[in-house]
Amino acid sequence: MFLVFVVLTLVITFFSARKATGSAAYFAAGRSITGWQNGLAVAGDYMSAASFLGISGMICFLGYDGFMYSVGFLVAYLTVLFLVAEPLRNAGKYTMADLLAYRLSPRPVRAMASLSTITVSTFYMIAQMVGAGVIIKSLLGLSFAPAVIGVGVLMLVYVVFGGMLATTWVQIIKAVLLMAGAFFLSYLVLQHHGFSLANFFDHVSRADYGGSAAPKNLLEPGLKYGVIAAGPWGPLDLVSLAMGLVLGTAGLPHILVRFYTVPDAKTARSSVVWAMAIIGVFYILTTFFGFGAATILEKSAITTAAGKPDTNMVAPILALALGGNLFFAFISAVAFATILAVVAGLTMSASTSFAHDFYTNVIHHGKEKTAGEEVRVARITAFVVGAVSIGIAIGLGPEVNAAFLVGLAFAVAASANLPVILFSVFWKRFNTAGAVCGLVGGLASSILLILLSPSGIFGKAGAIFPLDNPGIVSIPLGFLAAYLGTVLTKADPEAAAKFAELKVRAHTGLGAEKGGGH
């Protein structure tokens, strides 16, 4: 099944490579993707290894508190639908920085936006790589490091040769496979409980891990973030996580660039609705994987040799227990496809941002020295970003929870990217200094707080910042830095004058990049 998926996606990459001949074709799939196709691709980008593997494990061991990840990921799309999708599609070309540079000084804004995009993409990609290493190690017996390297190499083939078109179709195929696997696994869990939701939740309220542990009520909040479990900072950590998840999606680069692949804003809006419907169903189904595992599997099956919870392998092991070897192979192949597709999307957004924003627009003032240079630089950047992510994932090892790492990526995106996107679209006084301060402030504060947190360089005992997720502090700091950077510097009449123009274009699509640009 692994091989079938790999061969199929390589065939798609081969045909996509023949079409990816210009910048619009390579970076934005020629703006030819339809609403439902983009909805599936956005959902595919979003339903990552962290969701499928990490959240299932979180719900299995932490119950209600783990399910808060699913709620946060789903609700987050309302921010994208109502505030970001349409203005971004109408005012931009290939990247988030296109929107910012529309009425602000392009070079400083693009340089900082590029740095922020690469940072967020790298955080997110590491989480996917860790998931990849774990799943391949369990299925094929490969050790963690070669498994991560193998996934990285395949991902680079998709991005370097196929561009956005290949990446989009890989996402679509993966989303269909993932939903099929999720429905069947949920069906098997409900079958185990006699197709009775009352019976299912009754077992969840006294989950005993297949009779191998003392019963506990997984529907009761507080197993991870309660005062008893996490100390006095636990509830605040939950609020911080929620802020990061709900606001972070609207700042995730690999989600934002998807809106440039459709021909117009109307299609961008319809793709968000498609994506929300698919994502909504998927996150409801995670309830059955996670809680189902806690009621069916013995603890020894989902813990490591050292006795620690093996949170990334709960869903595949549940598939093995309920559906046998064939279904286990299918679910593992789906998880593998999920990881490959998401890391390809992340690499695409990072390399596009560097080539389009930094190389072409910052270094060469918006002009390509030779035809096709921008695409060549993007391909080289993809190699570098991929290599760095592989190296860090191997360094962190297989025991890091993928959902936790993704939570950090969301917090960085919400702190650095979202404030400047919103101010740029909705605040006339906003200027270049404010944008740079917002990006620097949000990025620096979120990363610093992560380093000083219990998961950072000093460990739990020596942590200076008491929360695992920095969002509750770094997101307001990002907004504050953007605000102060604007009001404490001279007003920019040119940026203010272009605000009305941006407003008309963002809300009507007048003058926006058109589709069909192969």
Percent of the chain whose pLDDT exceeds 70: 94
Mean pLDDT of the region 31-40: 86
pLDDT at 516 over 60: no
Is 160 within 8 Å of 382 (Cβ atoms)?
yes
How many angstroms separate the CA atoms of 372 and 359, rounded?
13
Give tens-digit pLDDT for 466-496.
988 888 999 999 999 999 999 999 998 988 8
| Helix locations, 249-364, DSSP H | 253-256, 265-296, 314-352
Q: Which of 453, 355, 463, 347 is nearest to 407 (CA)?
A: 453
Q: pLDDT-derived band of residue 203, with 50, 70 and 90 as boundaries?
A: very high
Token pair in block for residue 186: 């949920």
Question: What are residue 207's DSSP bridge partners?
Answer: 216
CA atoms within 13 A on the CB side of 269: 12
Note the residue count of the chain: 518
Is 518 within 8 Å of 25 (Cβ atoms)?
yes
Q: Is the pTM of this model over 0.85?
A: no
pLDDT at 517 over 60: no
How many angstroms separate the CA atoms of 6 and 17, rounded?
16
Residue corresponding to tokens 């599936």: 40
Backbone angles phi and psi of 517, in degrees to 5: -90, 45
pLDDT given for residue 21 in this prediction: 66
Give tens-digit pLDDT for 402-419.
666 777 788 888 899 899
Is 120 within 8 Å of 413 (Cβ atoms)?
yes
Question: What are residue 476's DSSP bridge partners?
Answer: none
Residue corresponding to tokens 């941006």: 502
Is 282 within 8 Å of 43 (Cβ atoms)?
yes
Backbone angles phi and psi of 263, in degrees to 5: -75, -25
pLDDT given for residue 518 in this prediction: 40
Q: Which of 99, 93, 96, 98 is nearest to 425 (CA)?
A: 99
Number of helices (H), then strands (E), in the chain: 22, 0
Question: What are residue 309's DSSP bridge partners?
Answer: 303
Give tens-digit pLDDT for 78-107.
787 778 877 877 877 778 888 888 888 888
Token pair in block for residue 182: 């999720």
Tell me the C-alpha to C-alpha distance, in Å, between residue 490 and each of 110, 146, 495.
20, 54, 11
pLDDT at 181 over 70: yes
- What distance separates the 2 farthest-apart alpha carbons in the chain? 70
* Mean pLDDT, rounded, of the chain: 83
How many angstroms separate the CA atoms of 311 and 513, rounded?
44
Radius of gyration of the chain (CA): 22
pLDDT at 515 over 70: no
How many other C-beta atoms lie within 10 A of the C-beta of residue 25?
Answer: 20
**Backbone angle region of 29, left / alpha / beta, with phi > 0 → left and psi within -120 to 50 → alpha:** left
How many angstroms separate the CA atoms of 216 and 208, rounded?
7
CB-based contacts of 222, cutoff 8 Å, min separation 6: 64, 65, 228, 229, 234
Q: Spell out a b/e string for 371-405, using b for 16 or more CB atoms within 10 Å of the CB, else e.
A: eebbbebbbebbeebbeebbbbbbeeebebbbbbb
Give tens-digit pLDDT for 432-451.
999 999 999 999 998 898 88
Backbone angles phi and psi of 207, in degrees to 5: -65, 130
Mean pLDDT of the region 344-358: 83
CB-based contacts of 167, cutoff 8 Å, min separation 6: 158, 159, 341, 344, 345, 348
pLDDT given for residue 511 in this prediction: 67
Question: What are residue 216's DSSP bridge partners?
Answer: 207
Mean pLDDT of the region 370-395: 83
How many angstroms separate the CA atoms of 292 and 284, rounded?
13
Question: What are residue 303's DSSP bridge partners?
Answer: 309
